[in-house]
Chain A
Amino acid sequence: MEGRFIVSGRDETRALAENFLNDLHGNEFISLTGNLGAGKTFFVKILGEIAGLKGVSSPTFAILNYYEGGKINLYHYDFYRIKKAEELYDIGFYENLDDDSAVKIAEWADLFPEAIPSQHISVSINLLDNNDREYTFKHIR
């Protein structure tokens, strides 16, 4: 799925997430960007709900959460608290990149662009003045 979409509220976000999820093979790397409060974790939570992954919550503190047992397996990263690129080795980031059995989503991926696989899906979320969200999906090759 590619393009720009404006959604309002939970139901429309869910419909968008459903389309997005249907297009995934289950092994992609997704860079998820947007300002504080844009709704990055919310989007992953909705994806998780649709995929049957329970209890998806913010990985900011834990840096990495792993979920399995649904339609997809999911590594959910958050680079927000990472200060140096070399810390990514320590959290097992590069080991998990090779895991073809799971989708990898990294919030704040733009903080360490050099760490992101050259082939990935970019999802950016922008909170608009009227509380709608603008989603932009791009396949980067």
Chain B
Amino acid sequence: MIVLGIESSCDETSVAVIRDGVLASNLISSQDFHKLYGGVVPELSSRAHLERVLPLVKKALADNNLSVNDLDLIAATAGPGLIGALLVGFIFGKTLARTSGIPFVPVNHIEGHIFSGFLMDTKPDFPFLCLVVSGGHTMLILVESFTSMKILGTTIDDAAGEAFDKVAKMLNLPYPGGPSVQKAAMAGNPGAIDFPIARLSNEFDFSFSGVKTSVLRYIQKLESPPDQEMINNIAASFTASVTGALLNNVRKAIKKYKINTITLTGGVAANSHLREGFIRLGEKYGKKVVIPDFQFCGDNAAMIAFRGLSLHEAGEKFDPAYEPFPSFFSKYITG
């Protein structure tokens, strides 16, 4: 079984091949397309996806000595995301599947993240808890099987990754905000400043807008612009606050639900404070911990190909008239 996966929901175009259950290629535009063509960083646009998707598909096939006729299944991200961006990968994949006479599987991007742990040698055991944290999403999900999931909590305002980016901007730290806040935080004191996190009516929900404003307020009240030590302390205290809120909800869910594994995925899973805290939490409660490699945490097509394969193997069939969806939609996930 050879599966082609395509992801184009936001900034990255990505193409992956899974061959007999083993990941053979996972090309991601920000890395691989630039290696191919060099030059300018393409801006956010469907035109950029359009320019990148065909060369990436050709490269993924060529790297594995495959032709289009060898493919058995094509999966592409159907949503959520920017409709113009989604349409490029989705229509490309759907058309290629149609003309090749093979099945096409539309994939929910979040479901891709949820099952990205299965791309690792050590795989999650059902039922498991998944914390998806990225620039655009913050969700805690109870995963019972490949076709049954429940959202326990979600952000009511900003995503965790967005809070990192915006605090980086307030501190004049370079983009992308996640790594630069982490670097400053390493040298700072996480207990220096108390940035409170809101308590919410749903015990598993998240809110990061308030902590962002607290940081802003704190900086504005300083008599002079913050020196490096102060920047480090703000970054460390802010990080402690955000990771504390994330881990606290995971802890509550571990206590409330019978689960075997906890998994952490999405771009913010790269944050070392969050990773370390997550691993400690798993050790404390005797749960298996799965944190995918970074190439599977950010937006990537390997997770889309895997998710497509898992739905296909579960016997799911999709109408050829299936349309992409910009807003969140999943028949496998309950609110």
Contact = CB atoms under 8 A, between A and B. Distances in A.
B334 interface: no
Contact of B45 (A37, A90, A131): A90
Interface in B44-67: 44-47
Interface residues of A, number: 28
B228 interface: no
Interface in A81-140: 81-84, 86-87, 90-92, 127, 131
A45 B157 contact: yes
A26 interface: no
A37 B212 contact: yes
Interface in B157-199: 157-159, 161-162, 166, 169-170
A36 B155 contact: no
B217 A58 contact: no
A61 B162 CA distance: 7
Interface in A53-71: 55, 57-58, 60-66
A61 B136 contact: yes
Interface in B140-157: 154-157
Given A36-B169, A37-B216, A92-B84, A64 B326 contact: yes
Interface residues of B, number: 35
A27 interface: no
A57 B45 contact: no
Nearest to B326: A66
A97 to B, nearest CB: 15
B285 to A, nearest CB: 30
A16 B73 CA distance: 53
A62 B79 CA distance: 11
Contact of A91 (B82, B135, B158): B82
26 contacts: A35-B216, A36-B169, A36-B170, A39-B213, A41-B209, A42-B209, A45-B156, A55-B156, A57-B155, A57-B156, A57-B158, A58-B155, A58-B158, A58-B159, A58-B209, A60-B166, A61-B135, A61-B136, A62-B80, A62-B81, A82-B44, A90-B46, A90-B82, A90-B84, A92-B83, A127-B217
